[in-house]
Amino acid sequence: GAPDEGPDAAADSAAPASVFSSGRRITRSQQGQGADRDETPPRTPTGNAPSSESDLEASSPNNDTDERLAKELSLKEAAAHDLSHRPKRRRFHESYNFNMKCPTPGCNSLGHLTGRHERHFSISGCPLYHNLSADECKTVLMFCQGKASTRDKLAEERTLSHRHDENRHSTRNQAPSERQLRYKEKVSELRRKRNSGLNKEQKDKYMEHRQSHGTSREPLLENITSDYDLELFRKAQARASDDLEKLRLAGQVSEGSNMIKTIVFGRYELDTWYHSPYPEEYARLGRLYMCEFCLKYMKSQTILRRHMAKCVWKHPPGDEIYRKTNISVFEVDGKKNKIYCQNLCLLAKLFLDHKTLYYDVEPFLFYVMTEADNTGCHLVGYFSKEKNSFLNYNVSCILTMPQYMRQGYGKMLIDFSYLLSKVEEKVGSPERPLSDLGLISYRSYWKDVLLRYMNNFQGKEISIKEISQETAVNPVDIVSTLQALQMLKYWKGKHLVLKRQDLIDDWKAKETKRGNSKTIDPTALKWTPPKGT
């Protein structure tokens, strides 16, 4: 079979689309908080918890009450040493699953790059991967805390001096202070002391380290740059690792799970449904930013804004083969536009469960449907098909973007795939196996096609072969749909197709309400089958 998968639940499925254009949602409820709470503190007569013993004394209306409250306090202090009756507080490291372990070979998962945690379970927090020990990480933490304390004191002194200087006027671009100039000179001096290059002994040491550990350890970084810049890099590493550890402790991140929770795509912010194999540096992000025209993915809103200012794309690459009002379809060759098609497949995997094709896109053609406005052609959905399908599959994968689901675009994509089969004078069928929701979408389309044919049919004998030739639907799909509609009976050795007028009347009523806004017009297609197909 083909390396791609059957169509998934992208075409008008009943699954709700998690789409919103602004604001935040709480996606996970906080549970088990009651087990971590202390007992209710004593209350003052006003109903607020006392902040100290003096609050208790001040709130006493008379001496008897004072004695009673003092007695209660002494009892509470005595009981404070026996906390066996209290729910045990969960420590940070106890919230881990201890079946997890660090993926670095030879690491026992003890220590953390930041020096703040007792254990780690990822490469980003592994001291061994960074060629350090757990004790060295703790020493670095203490040194950084000392420098931070000194820095805070200096900042406080500067703030006080500014307050006392009443004649000092704030300006937009202030000249650097003497301390800042001295610091700048110090940094320049440290960078000038950088070695001009590695000597032979250092190169041999680095090569030996690389050959011994390969990619399981970070390369040796000493003497490659100045000590000042290396220290800045180490601080950035530790800070990023600490942020990731906080997310993991909060339960927002779990090892091996899909960490891309949302994507920013044009005017929409979409919740993802499944894992997609984006590069690790992007897969670690909770949110991914994408250009809705060229489908490039980025790490931040700033990068996206700069990209959009330079991006010249306003529609998919390839040839526009269909246009009716503001709906267009572009034919994109996976061989000619490889990067775009790979990005499209990675995007589709966020909403398709069983998709297996991501990078081998050259044997496929992609038909991308867009909706145009004054800003460009916005991606509605797409389907892919093999250039040379041995089994005459006319669809390998199909997707409707979540923000356009349940609006009729899915059936338009399916109808367009069969229109291409008619032009090719072939009978088509989607690639198997179909997912459950994909089967629902196709059954709905096949039902509409058959009931429309029955409504227009004026003869007495119906041939499944003739239906197939006129609609380009595979006879197997026609038979399965007739059976599902209970319109196929076996009587006296023959198969009979029953014309159920009740189903036809219901279909006509729905068609009248639906209108013709979401239909494919065959006259708007300007396309000839590619050579060799």
Note every long-range contact of 35-42, with CB atoms under 8 Å and residues 24 or more positions apart, other chains counting.
35/87, 36/87, 36/89, 36/90, 37/87, 38/86, 39/86, 42/69, 42/72, 42/73, 42/76
Q: In this structure, is the dihedral angle defined by the CA atoms of residues 193, 197, 202 and 205, taken in order, positive or negative?
A: positive
Buried b (16+ CB within 10 A) or exposed e, 16-28: ebebeeeeeeeee
What is the token pair recorded at 176? 């650097």
Q: CB under 8 Å to 309, separation ≥6 — which residues?
A: none
What is the token pair recorded at 108? 């026992």
Per the CB < 8 A criterion, the answer to whether 466 and 478 are in contact is no
CA angle, residues 95, 99, 103, in degrees to nearest 5: 105
What is the token pair recorded at 180? 């800042």
Dist. CA 117–CA 465, nearest whole Å: 70
Crossing angle, helix 436-456 and helix 501-514, to 10 degrees? 100
Catalytic residue among 431, 461, 466, 470: 431
- DSSP-derived letter for residue 431 is P
Per the CB < 8 A criterion, the answer to whether 397 and 5 are in contact is yes
Residue 320 catalytic? no
Dist. CA 348–CA 329, nearest whole Å: 17
Per the CB < 8 A criterion, the answer to whether 527 and 420 are in contact is yes
Closest CA to 503 of 463, 452, 459: 452
Per the CB < 8 A criterion, the answer to whether 207 and 213 are in contact is no
CA angle, residues 183, 184, 189, in degrees to nearest 5: 95
Residues forming a β-bridge with 365: 333, 385
Per the CB < 8 A criterion, the answer to whether 287 and 298 are in contact is no
Dist. CA 397–CA 431, nearest whole Å: 8
So which residues are the catalytic ones? 431
